Structure 1
Amino acid sequence: MSTVDLIRHVKLSTARLPLTVPISDAKVFTGRQKPMTEVVFLFAEITTELGHSGIGFSYSKRAGGPAQYAHAKEVAEGLIGEDPNDIARIYTKLLWAGASVGRSGVATQALAAVDIALYDLKAKRAGLPLAKLLGSYRDSVRTYNTSGGFLNATLEEVKDRASRSIEEGIGGIKIKVGLPDSTEDLRRVAGIRDRIGPDVPLMVDANQQWDRATALRMGRRLEDFN
Structure 2
Amino acid sequence: MGERWQAVDDYIAARLLGDDDALATTLANNAEQGLPPIDVSAAQGKILCLLAQMAGAKRILEIGTLGGYSTIWLARALPDDGALVTLELEAHHARVAQANLENAGLASKVDIRVGPAVDSLTAMDGEAPFDFVFIDADKQSNTAYVEAAIRLGRPGTTIIVDNVVREGSVLDAGSTDERIVGTRALFDMLGANPRLDATAIQTVGAKGWDGFVLARVL
TM-score between both structures, scaled by the size of structure 2: 0.28
Bigger radius of gyration among the two: 1
